[in-house]
Structure 1
Amino acid sequence: MNAIPDDAAEPRGPATSRSIVRATEPQALTTRALEERRLIHRNDSARVQADAFRDLRTRLLALRGDTNFVTLVAPVAAGCGASFVARNLAAAFAFDETKIATLVDCDALHPAQHTALGLDAAGGGLMDYIEGTASDLQQVHYRTGLPRLYLVPGGSVREITGESFSSLRMRTLIDSLRSSHSNRYVVLDSPPVLRSPDARILSDLADLVVLVAGYGRVTTDQIEKAASNFDPEKLAGVVFNDIH
Protein backbone atom coordinates (compact mmCIF):
# COMPACT_ATOMS: atom_id res chain seq x y z
CA MET A 1 0.00 0.00 0.00
CA ASN A 2 1.28 3.47 -0.84
CA ALA A 3 1.80 5.90 2.02
CA ILE A 4 -0.69 8.75 1.95
CA PRO A 5 -0.19 11.98 3.94
CA ASP A 6 -2.92 12.78 6.47
CA ASP A 7 -3.52 15.57 8.96
CA ALA A 8 -6.68 14.61 10.85
CA ALA A 9 -6.73 13.72 14.51
CA GLU A 10 -7.50 10.06 15.09
CA PRO A 11 -6.53 7.66 17.85
CA ARG A 12 -3.36 5.88 16.80
CA GLY A 13 -3.03 2.15 16.88
CA PRO A 14 -2.66 -0.95 14.71
CA ALA A 15 -6.37 -1.08 13.88
CA THR A 16 -6.74 2.52 12.74
CA SER A 17 -3.50 3.76 11.19
CA ARG A 18 -1.57 2.21 8.34
CA SER A 19 1.76 3.58 7.14
CA ILE A 20 0.67 7.22 7.24
CA VAL A 21 3.18 9.94 6.43
CA ARG A 22 2.57 13.46 7.64
CA ALA A 23 3.41 16.30 5.25
CA THR A 24 3.38 20.07 5.63
CA GLU A 25 -0.01 21.58 4.90
CA PRO A 26 0.09 24.50 2.43
CA GLN A 27 -1.12 27.88 3.62
CA ALA A 28 -4.81 27.69 4.44
CA LEU A 29 -7.10 29.23 1.84
CA THR A 30 -8.61 32.61 2.64
CA THR A 31 -12.36 33.17 2.56
CA ARG A 32 -11.97 34.93 -0.79
CA ALA A 33 -9.96 32.01 -2.20
CA LEU A 34 -12.60 29.56 -0.98
CA GLU A 35 -15.32 31.56 -2.71
CA GLU A 36 -13.29 31.74 -5.93
CA ARG A 37 -13.05 27.94 -5.83
CA ARG A 38 -16.78 27.72 -5.09
CA LEU A 39 -16.10 25.96 -1.80
CA ILE A 40 -18.32 26.25 1.24
CA HIS A 41 -16.91 27.91 4.35
CA ARG A 42 -18.02 28.88 7.83
CA ASN A 43 -18.69 32.60 7.26
CA ASP A 44 -22.20 33.98 7.13
CA SER A 45 -21.99 34.67 3.37
CA ALA A 46 -21.99 30.91 2.67
CA ARG A 47 -23.98 29.67 5.65
CA VAL A 48 -27.02 28.45 3.66
CA GLN A 49 -24.88 26.42 1.26
CA ALA A 50 -22.65 25.15 4.05
CA ASP A 51 -25.65 23.99 6.06
CA ALA A 52 -27.10 22.23 2.99
CA PHE A 53 -23.92 20.23 2.43
CA ARG A 54 -23.56 19.45 6.13
CA ASP A 55 -27.12 18.11 6.04
CA LEU A 56 -26.26 15.95 3.00
CA ARG A 57 -23.17 14.65 4.83
CA THR A 58 -25.25 13.86 7.93
CA ARG A 59 -27.83 11.94 5.88
CA LEU A 60 -25.12 9.85 4.21
CA LEU A 61 -23.46 9.11 7.54
CA ALA A 62 -26.82 7.96 8.91
CA LEU A 63 -27.12 5.47 6.06
CA ARG A 64 -23.69 3.91 6.62
CA GLY A 65 -23.27 4.01 10.38
CA ASP A 66 -19.83 4.29 11.95
CA THR A 67 -17.75 2.91 9.05
CA ASN A 68 -16.11 5.13 6.44
CA PHE A 69 -17.41 4.82 2.90
CA VAL A 70 -17.08 5.77 -0.76
CA THR A 71 -19.73 8.04 -2.32
CA LEU A 72 -20.25 8.38 -6.06
CA VAL A 73 -21.67 11.77 -7.07
CA ALA A 74 -23.15 11.35 -10.54
CA PRO A 75 -24.90 13.96 -12.71
CA VAL A 76 -27.94 12.90 -14.70
CA ALA A 77 -26.57 14.80 -17.70
CA ALA A 78 -23.89 17.35 -18.52
CA GLY A 79 -24.44 20.77 -16.96
CA CYS A 80 -26.11 19.58 -13.74
CA GLY A 81 -23.31 20.92 -11.54
CA ALA A 82 -22.29 17.59 -10.03
CA SER A 83 -18.61 18.58 -9.78
CA PHE A 84 -19.67 21.48 -7.56
CA VAL A 85 -21.74 19.11 -5.42
CA ALA A 86 -18.93 16.53 -5.19
CA ARG A 87 -16.36 19.17 -4.26
CA ASN A 88 -18.48 20.64 -1.50
CA LEU A 89 -19.66 17.30 -0.16
CA ALA A 90 -15.98 16.39 0.27
CA ALA A 91 -15.40 19.76 1.92
CA ALA A 92 -18.30 19.11 4.30
CA PHE A 93 -16.65 15.88 5.44
CA ALA A 94 -13.36 17.77 5.91
CA PHE A 95 -15.13 20.40 8.05
CA ASP A 96 -15.38 17.74 10.74
CA GLU A 97 -12.00 17.76 12.48
CA THR A 98 -12.27 14.02 13.14
CA LYS A 99 -12.59 13.19 9.43
CA ILE A 100 -10.48 13.31 6.27
CA ALA A 101 -11.88 13.56 2.74
CA THR A 102 -10.39 12.67 -0.62
CA LEU A 103 -12.12 13.86 -3.78
CA VAL A 104 -11.35 11.78 -6.88
CA ASP A 105 -12.01 13.37 -10.29
CA CYS A 106 -13.28 10.49 -12.44
CA ASP A 107 -14.37 12.54 -15.46
CA ALA A 108 -11.44 11.53 -17.68
CA LEU A 109 -12.76 13.37 -20.73
CA HIS A 110 -13.39 16.67 -18.94
CA PRO A 111 -11.34 16.71 -15.72
CA ALA A 112 -11.99 20.00 -13.94
CA GLN A 113 -11.49 19.66 -10.19
CA HIS A 114 -7.77 20.60 -10.21
CA THR A 115 -8.60 23.80 -12.11
CA ALA A 116 -11.52 24.60 -9.80
CA LEU A 117 -9.28 24.10 -6.76
CA GLY A 118 -6.39 26.07 -8.27
CA LEU A 119 -3.95 23.15 -8.12
CA ASP A 120 -0.93 22.46 -10.29
CA ALA A 121 -1.31 18.73 -10.90
CA ALA A 122 2.16 18.31 -12.36
CA GLY A 123 2.58 14.92 -10.72
CA GLY A 124 -0.28 13.49 -12.79
CA GLY A 125 -3.64 12.19 -11.72
CA LEU A 126 -6.06 9.30 -11.74
CA MET A 127 -5.61 8.12 -15.33
CA ASP A 128 -1.83 8.37 -15.02
CA TYR A 129 -1.93 6.19 -11.91
CA ILE A 130 -4.26 3.63 -13.49
CA GLU A 131 -2.06 3.38 -16.57
CA GLY A 132 1.13 3.15 -14.52
CA THR A 133 2.68 6.45 -15.66
CA ALA A 134 2.44 7.60 -12.05
CA SER A 135 3.49 4.58 -10.05
CA ASP A 136 2.88 5.90 -6.54
CA LEU A 137 -0.53 6.88 -5.14
CA GLN A 138 1.06 9.59 -3.02
CA GLN A 139 2.27 11.23 -6.26
CA VAL A 140 -1.31 11.88 -7.41
CA HIS A 141 -2.83 12.62 -3.97
CA TYR A 142 -2.71 16.42 -3.52
CA ARG A 143 -3.42 18.70 -0.59
CA THR A 144 -5.90 21.43 -1.47
CA GLY A 145 -5.24 24.17 1.10
CA LEU A 146 -8.45 23.26 2.92
CA PRO A 147 -7.42 21.25 6.01
CA ARG A 148 -8.14 17.52 5.71
CA LEU A 149 -9.36 17.82 2.09
CA TYR A 150 -7.32 16.07 -0.61
CA LEU A 151 -7.71 15.67 -4.36
CA VAL A 152 -6.82 12.97 -6.85
CA PRO A 153 -7.20 14.94 -10.12
CA GLY A 154 -8.29 13.37 -13.39
CA GLY A 155 -4.83 13.49 -14.95
CA SER A 156 -4.33 12.83 -18.65
CA VAL A 157 -7.48 13.25 -20.75
CA ARG A 158 -8.89 10.00 -22.12
CA GLU A 159 -11.80 9.29 -24.49
CA ILE A 160 -12.51 5.72 -23.37
CA THR A 161 -12.26 4.80 -19.70
CA GLY A 162 -14.62 1.90 -18.97
CA GLU A 163 -11.91 -0.76 -18.84
CA SER A 164 -9.70 1.54 -16.76
CA PHE A 165 -12.39 2.07 -14.12
CA SER A 166 -13.01 -1.67 -13.84
CA SER A 167 -9.29 -2.47 -13.61
CA LEU A 168 -7.47 -3.92 -10.63
CA ARG A 169 -5.37 -0.75 -10.50
CA MET A 170 -8.48 1.42 -10.03
CA ARG A 171 -9.87 -0.86 -7.33
CA THR A 172 -6.49 -0.84 -5.58
CA LEU A 173 -6.49 2.96 -5.55
CA ILE A 174 -9.94 3.15 -3.97
CA ASP A 175 -9.17 0.39 -1.46
CA SER A 176 -5.87 2.06 -0.52
CA LEU A 177 -7.56 5.41 0.08
CA ARG A 178 -10.39 4.09 2.23
CA SER A 179 -8.22 1.68 4.24
CA SER A 180 -5.31 4.07 4.88
CA HIS A 181 -7.29 5.67 7.70
CA SER A 182 -10.60 4.59 9.22
CA ASN A 183 -11.86 8.20 9.18
CA ARG A 184 -11.20 8.87 5.48
CA TYR A 185 -14.28 9.46 3.31
CA VAL A 186 -13.84 9.18 -0.45
CA VAL A 187 -16.00 11.13 -2.93
CA LEU A 188 -15.93 10.13 -6.61
CA ASP A 189 -16.84 12.88 -9.11
CA SER A 190 -18.46 10.99 -11.98
CA PRO A 191 -19.09 11.79 -15.65
CA PRO A 192 -22.77 12.16 -16.66
CA VAL A 193 -24.85 9.00 -16.31
CA LEU A 194 -26.70 9.39 -19.62
CA ARG A 195 -23.55 10.09 -21.64
CA SER A 196 -21.54 6.92 -21.03
CA PRO A 197 -21.42 3.71 -18.97
CA ASP A 198 -18.64 5.13 -16.75
CA ALA A 199 -20.95 6.15 -13.90
CA ARG A 200 -22.48 2.68 -13.71
CA ILE A 201 -19.00 1.08 -13.73
CA LEU A 202 -17.80 3.47 -11.01
CA SER A 203 -20.82 2.64 -8.86
CA ASP A 204 -19.37 -0.84 -8.38
CA LEU A 205 -16.57 0.82 -6.39
CA ALA A 206 -18.93 2.95 -4.28
CA ASP A 207 -21.02 2.24 -1.21
CA LEU A 208 -23.51 5.04 -1.92
CA VAL A 209 -24.63 6.93 -5.02
CA VAL A 210 -25.88 10.51 -5.02
CA LEU A 211 -27.60 11.50 -8.26
CA VAL A 212 -27.42 15.19 -9.19
CA ALA A 213 -30.16 16.79 -11.28
CA GLY A 214 -29.79 20.36 -12.47
CA TYR A 215 -33.00 22.08 -11.41
CA GLY A 216 -35.02 22.80 -14.56
CA ARG A 217 -32.35 21.22 -16.78
CA VAL A 218 -33.45 17.58 -16.84
CA THR A 219 -36.80 15.85 -17.04
CA THR A 220 -38.35 13.39 -14.63
CA ASP A 221 -37.93 10.69 -17.28
CA GLN A 222 -34.21 11.45 -17.54
CA ILE A 223 -33.83 11.25 -13.77
CA GLU A 224 -35.64 7.91 -13.65
CA LYS A 225 -33.57 6.56 -16.55
CA ALA A 226 -30.34 7.65 -14.84
CA ALA A 227 -31.41 6.17 -11.50
CA SER A 228 -32.14 2.80 -13.15
CA ASN A 229 -28.40 2.41 -13.83
CA PHE A 230 -27.66 1.89 -10.12
CA ASP A 231 -28.31 -0.71 -7.48
CA PRO A 232 -31.34 0.57 -5.52
CA GLU A 233 -29.56 -0.45 -2.30
CA LYS A 234 -26.77 2.02 -3.09
CA LEU A 235 -28.84 4.92 -4.40
CA ALA A 236 -28.99 7.39 -1.51
CA GLY A 237 -31.17 9.91 -3.34
CA VAL A 238 -31.31 12.81 -5.77
CA VAL A 239 -29.86 16.28 -5.17
CA PHE A 240 -31.60 19.03 -7.13
CA ASN A 241 -28.88 21.58 -7.83
CA ASP A 242 -30.22 25.09 -8.38
CA ILE A 243 -27.65 26.38 -10.87
CA HIS A 244 -27.49 30.15 -11.29
Structure 2
Amino acid sequence: MTSDNDSRSAALVPSESAVQRLDSRQLDARRIVRHDMQDARPADAFRDLRTQLLARTDSRVEVLLVAPVARGSGGSYVALNLAAAFAFDETRQVILVDCNLRQPCLHQRLDVEVRNGGLVDYLEGRVDNLADVLYPSGLARLTLLPVGTRREASGDLLGHARMRGMIDSLRSVAEKVTVILDAPAANASPDTRILATMTDCCVLVAGYGRDTPAAVQSASAVLDPQRLAGVVFNRVP
Protein backbone atom coordinates (compact mmCIF):
# COMPACT_ATOMS: atom_id res chain seq x y z
CA MET A 1 0.00 0.00 0.00
CA THR A 2 1.28 3.48 -0.85
CA SER A 3 0.75 6.24 1.70
CA ASP A 4 -0.19 9.82 0.87
CA ASN A 5 3.28 10.93 1.96
CA ASP A 6 4.90 8.39 -0.37
CA SER A 7 2.73 9.59 -3.24
CA ARG A 8 3.59 13.24 -2.66
CA SER A 9 7.30 12.44 -2.44
CA ALA A 10 7.28 10.33 -5.59
CA ALA A 11 5.52 13.14 -7.43
CA LEU A 12 8.62 15.30 -6.99
CA VAL A 13 10.55 13.16 -9.48
CA PRO A 14 9.70 14.22 -13.06
CA SER A 15 8.35 11.63 -15.46
CA GLU A 16 10.94 10.27 -17.88
CA SER A 17 8.43 8.80 -20.31
CA ALA A 18 8.48 11.70 -22.77
CA VAL A 19 12.13 12.66 -22.29
CA GLN A 20 14.68 11.90 -24.97
CA ARG A 21 17.61 10.02 -23.48
CA LEU A 22 21.19 11.01 -24.20
CA ASP A 23 22.68 8.42 -26.56
CA SER A 24 26.14 6.88 -26.27
CA ARG A 25 27.77 9.46 -28.54
CA GLN A 26 26.27 12.33 -26.57
CA LEU A 27 27.36 10.79 -23.27
CA ASP A 28 30.88 10.22 -24.54
CA ALA A 29 31.10 13.78 -25.86
CA ARG A 30 30.05 15.07 -22.42
CA ARG A 31 32.47 12.74 -20.60
CA ILE A 32 29.65 10.99 -18.75
CA VAL A 33 30.13 7.34 -17.86
CA ARG A 34 27.76 4.64 -19.10
CA HIS A 35 27.60 0.98 -18.20
CA ASP A 36 28.47 -0.27 -21.71
CA MET A 37 31.54 1.86 -22.47
CA GLN A 38 34.13 0.30 -24.76
CA ASP A 39 36.84 1.48 -22.38
CA ALA A 40 35.32 0.42 -19.08
CA ARG A 41 37.95 2.00 -16.85
CA PRO A 42 36.15 5.33 -16.18
CA ALA A 43 32.83 3.61 -15.42
CA ASP A 44 34.58 1.02 -13.25
CA ALA A 45 36.33 3.77 -11.29
CA PHE A 46 33.04 5.47 -10.46
CA ARG A 47 31.33 2.15 -9.72
CA ASP A 48 34.13 1.39 -7.28
CA LEU A 49 33.77 4.79 -5.63
CA ARG A 50 30.01 4.22 -5.33
CA THR A 51 30.59 0.80 -3.76
CA GLN A 52 33.06 2.21 -1.23
CA LEU A 53 30.65 4.96 -0.21
CA LEU A 54 27.77 2.52 0.24
CA ALA A 55 30.00 0.19 2.26
CA ARG A 56 31.12 3.06 4.48
CA THR A 57 27.53 4.00 5.31
CA ASP A 58 26.03 0.48 5.44
CA SER A 59 24.21 1.29 2.17
CA ARG A 60 22.35 4.14 3.85
CA VAL A 61 24.03 7.08 2.11
CA GLU A 62 21.17 9.38 1.09
CA VAL A 63 22.82 12.80 0.86
CA LEU A 64 26.37 13.08 -0.40
CA LEU A 65 28.47 16.20 -0.88
CA VAL A 66 31.15 16.39 -3.57
CA ALA A 67 33.49 19.36 -3.21
CA PRO A 68 36.67 20.25 -5.12
CA VAL A 69 39.74 21.44 -3.26
CA ALA A 70 39.88 24.50 -5.54
CA ARG A 71 38.25 25.78 -8.69
CA GLY A 72 39.36 23.65 -11.61
CA SER A 73 39.95 20.50 -9.56
CA GLY A 74 37.07 18.73 -11.31
CA GLY A 75 34.39 18.58 -8.64
CA SER A 76 31.46 18.87 -11.05
CA TYR A 77 32.92 16.16 -13.30
CA VAL A 78 33.16 13.78 -10.34
CA ALA A 79 29.72 14.73 -8.98
CA LEU A 80 28.03 14.17 -12.35
CA ASN A 81 29.72 10.85 -13.04
CA LEU A 82 29.22 9.58 -9.51
CA ALA A 83 25.53 10.42 -9.92
CA ALA A 84 25.50 8.50 -13.21
CA ALA A 85 27.13 5.51 -11.51
CA PHE A 86 24.55 5.51 -8.71
CA ALA A 87 21.83 5.66 -11.38
CA PHE A 88 23.11 2.39 -12.91
CA ASP A 89 21.10 0.79 -10.09
CA GLU A 90 17.61 0.30 -11.54
CA THR A 91 16.04 0.39 -8.07
CA ARG A 92 17.50 3.77 -7.11
CA GLN A 93 16.49 7.37 -7.81
CA VAL A 94 19.33 9.89 -7.98
CA ILE A 95 18.99 13.67 -7.64
CA LEU A 96 21.95 15.85 -8.59
CA VAL A 97 21.84 19.34 -7.07
CA ASP A 98 24.03 22.09 -8.51
CA CYS A 99 25.10 24.20 -5.52
CA ASN A 100 27.69 26.24 -7.42
CA LEU A 101 25.68 29.45 -7.26
CA ARG A 102 28.40 31.57 -8.87
CA GLN A 103 29.57 29.18 -11.59
CA PRO A 104 26.87 26.58 -12.33
CA CYS A 105 27.61 24.15 -15.14
CA LEU A 106 25.59 20.96 -14.77
CA HIS A 107 22.61 22.16 -16.82
CA GLN A 108 25.03 22.89 -19.68
CA ARG A 109 26.79 19.54 -19.38
CA LEU A 110 23.44 17.76 -19.56
CA ASP A 111 21.91 20.18 -22.08
CA VAL A 112 18.94 20.86 -19.80
CA GLU A 113 16.78 23.87 -20.60
CA VAL A 114 16.09 25.61 -17.30
CA ARG A 115 12.57 26.87 -17.97
CA ASN A 116 11.16 27.32 -14.48
CA GLY A 117 14.18 28.44 -12.48
CA GLY A 118 16.18 26.30 -10.11
CA LEU A 119 17.64 26.06 -6.62
CA VAL A 120 18.08 29.80 -6.06
CA ASP A 121 14.57 30.57 -7.29
CA TYR A 122 13.10 27.95 -4.96
CA LEU A 123 15.12 29.09 -1.94
CA GLU A 124 14.24 32.74 -2.54
CA GLY A 125 10.54 31.87 -2.73
CA ARG A 126 9.89 32.74 -6.37
CA VAL A 127 9.01 29.07 -6.97
CA ASP A 128 6.75 27.40 -4.41
CA ASN A 129 6.62 23.87 -5.79
CA LEU A 130 9.92 21.98 -5.59
CA ALA A 131 8.81 19.66 -8.39
CA ASP A 132 8.81 22.63 -10.78
CA VAL A 133 12.60 23.00 -10.55
CA LEU A 134 13.46 19.30 -10.88
CA TYR A 135 14.35 18.37 -14.47
CA PRO A 136 14.93 15.06 -16.26
CA SER A 137 18.64 14.80 -17.06
CA GLY A 138 18.52 12.61 -20.15
CA LEU A 139 19.89 9.71 -18.07
CA ALA A 140 17.57 7.08 -16.64
CA ARG A 141 16.72 7.56 -12.96
CA LEU A 142 18.81 10.75 -12.69
CA THR A 143 17.10 14.08 -11.97
CA LEU A 144 18.80 17.49 -12.02
CA LEU A 145 18.12 20.44 -9.74
CA PRO A 146 20.03 23.28 -11.45
CA VAL A 147 21.03 26.61 -9.91
CA GLY A 148 18.60 28.67 -11.95
CA THR A 149 19.19 32.36 -11.27
CA ARG A 150 22.93 32.82 -10.72
CA ARG A 151 24.14 34.52 -7.54
CA GLU A 152 27.57 36.15 -7.13
CA ALA A 153 27.04 36.31 -3.36
CA SER A 154 25.09 33.49 -1.75
CA GLY A 155 24.69 35.20 1.61
CA ASP A 156 22.91 32.81 3.95
CA LEU A 157 20.84 31.25 1.18
CA LEU A 158 22.28 27.73 1.44
CA GLY A 159 22.09 27.74 5.22
CA HIS A 160 18.45 28.78 5.31
CA ALA A 161 15.81 26.55 6.88
CA ARG A 162 14.16 26.24 3.45
CA MET A 163 17.31 24.54 2.15
CA ARG A 164 17.31 22.03 5.00
CA GLY A 165 13.63 21.37 4.47
CA MET A 166 14.27 20.82 0.77
CA ILE A 167 17.00 18.28 1.52
CA ASP A 168 14.61 16.43 3.84
CA SER A 169 12.00 16.35 1.05
CA LEU A 170 14.52 14.98 -1.44
CA ARG A 171 15.54 12.24 0.98
CA SER A 172 12.00 10.84 0.77
CA VAL A 173 11.42 10.77 -3.00
CA ALA A 174 11.94 7.00 -3.16
CA GLU A 175 12.72 4.01 -0.98
CA LYS A 176 16.27 4.08 -2.37
CA VAL A 177 17.45 7.59 -3.15
CA THR A 178 20.81 9.30 -3.40
CA VAL A 179 21.02 13.09 -3.40
CA ILE A 180 24.38 14.43 -4.59
CA LEU A 181 25.29 18.04 -3.85
CA ASP A 182 27.82 19.50 -6.28
CA ALA A 183 29.46 22.05 -3.99
CA PRO A 184 31.76 25.02 -4.58
CA ALA A 185 35.49 24.78 -3.92
CA ALA A 186 36.20 24.05 -0.27
CA ASN A 187 39.09 26.52 -0.21
CA ALA A 188 37.10 29.32 -1.83
CA SER A 189 33.61 29.37 -0.35
CA PRO A 190 32.02 29.09 3.10
CA ASP A 191 29.02 27.48 1.37
CA THR A 192 30.77 24.10 1.35
CA ARG A 193 31.07 24.01 5.13
CA ILE A 194 27.38 24.91 5.46
CA LEU A 195 26.27 22.26 2.95
CA ALA A 196 28.39 19.58 4.61
CA THR A 197 26.30 19.80 7.78
CA MET A 198 23.27 18.55 5.81
CA THR A 199 24.92 15.44 4.40
CA ASP A 200 25.62 11.86 5.38
CA CYS A 201 29.13 11.93 3.94
CA CYS A 202 31.48 14.09 1.88
CA VAL A 203 33.99 13.45 -0.90
CA LEU A 204 36.81 15.89 -1.58
CA VAL A 205 38.13 16.12 -5.16
CA ALA A 206 41.78 17.02 -5.70
CA GLY A 207 43.37 17.76 -9.05
CA TYR A 208 46.19 15.28 -9.59
CA GLY A 209 49.47 17.18 -9.91
CA ARG A 210 47.57 20.41 -9.43
CA ASP A 211 46.48 20.68 -5.80
CA THR A 212 49.31 20.64 -3.28
CA PRO A 213 49.22 18.48 -0.14
CA ALA A 214 48.86 21.70 1.87
CA ALA A 215 45.82 22.72 -0.19
CA VAL A 216 44.23 19.30 0.27
CA GLN A 217 44.84 19.44 4.01
CA SER A 218 43.37 22.94 4.21
CA ALA A 219 40.27 21.87 2.28
CA SER A 220 39.86 18.76 4.43
CA ALA A 221 39.82 20.95 7.54
CA VAL A 222 36.68 22.66 6.22
CA LEU A 223 34.73 19.39 6.45
CA ASP A 224 33.63 17.41 9.48
CA PRO A 225 36.14 14.53 9.79
CA GLN A 226 33.28 12.21 10.80
CA ARG A 227 31.58 12.90 7.47
CA LEU A 228 34.64 13.02 5.21
CA ALA A 229 34.74 9.73 3.30
CA GLY A 230 38.03 10.50 1.55
CA VAL A 231 39.82 12.29 -1.25
CA VAL A 232 39.36 11.46 -4.95
CA PHE A 233 42.24 12.38 -7.25
CA ASN A 234 40.94 13.63 -10.58
CA ARG A 235 42.81 13.41 -13.88
CA VAL A 236 45.09 10.62 -12.68
CA PRO A 237 47.16 9.48 -15.72
CA distance in 2 between partners of 1:52 and 1:61 (Å)? 14
1:17 counterpart SS class: helix
1:133 to 126, 135, 142: 126
Q: Give the distance between the partners of 2:179 and 2:30, measured in 1 at CA.
A: 20
Residue ranges of structure 1 left out of the alignment (5+ in a row): 1-11
Give the Å deviation of 1:29.
1.5
Match of 1:179 among 172, 176, 185: 172
Aligned length, in residue pairs? 233
* Greater alpha carbon shift after TM alignment, 57-66 vs 216-225: 57-66
TM-score by structure 1 length? 0.91
Aligned counterpart, 1:3: none
Q: Using the alignment, how far apart are the partners of 2:111 and 2:118 within structure 1? A: 15
**Matched residue of 1:102: which SS?**
strand
In the aligned structure 1, how far is the partner of 2:74 from the partner of 2:190?
A: 19
User: 1:67: how far off?
Assistant: 2.5
Residues 16 and 54 of structure 1: is their aligned pair in 2 closer, same or farther, counting only changes over 3 Å? farther
Q: Confirm or deny: 8 A CA contact 1:80 1:243 kept in the other structure.
A: no
Are 2:80 and 1:87 aligned?
A: yes
Contact 2:61 2:200 in 1 (8 A): no
TM-score w.r.t. length of structure 2:
0.93
C-alpha separation between the residues in 1 aligned to 2:234 and 2:5? 36
Aligned residue identity for 2:123: I
Indicate whether 1:17 and 2:6 are aligned: yes
Q: Which amino acid aligns with 1:204?
A: T
**Cα gap change, 1:15/1:211 in structure 2, threshold over 3 Å: closer, same or farther?**
farther
Partner of 1:97: 90
The match for 2:151 is 158
After TM superposition, give the deviation of residue 172 of structure 1 in Å: 1.2
Q: Which whole-Å CA distance do the structure 2 matches of 1:14 and 1:113 have between them?
A: 33
> In the aligned structure 2, how far is the partner of 1:29 from the partner of 1:78?
27
List aligned pairs for 1:194-233, cutoff 5 A: 194-233=187-226
| 2:233 paired residue number | 240
- The amino acid across from 1:69 in the alignment is E
1:59 paired with 2:52, answer: yes
**Equivalent in the alignment of 2:139:** 146
1:48 aligned to 41, 57, 60, which one?
41
Q: Residue 171 of structure 2 contacts residue 178 of structure 2 at CA under 8 Å; is this kept in 1?
A: yes
Q: Structure 2: which amino acid aligns with 1:23? A: S
Q: SS in structure 2 opposite 1:90? A: helix
Indicate the percent of aligned positions where both proteins have the same amino acid: 46
Counterpart residue type for residue 155 of structure 1: G
Give the whole-Å Cα distance in 1 for the aligned partners of 2:6 and 2:121.
27
Cα contact 2:61–2:201 (8 A) shared by 1: no
Matched residues in 1 for 2:115 and 2:126: separation?
12
Q: Which runs of 4+ in 1 moved over 4 A?
A: none
Cα shift at 1:46? 4.1
Gaps of 5+ in 2: none
State how far apart, in whole Å, the 2-side matches of 1:168 and 1:121 are: 24
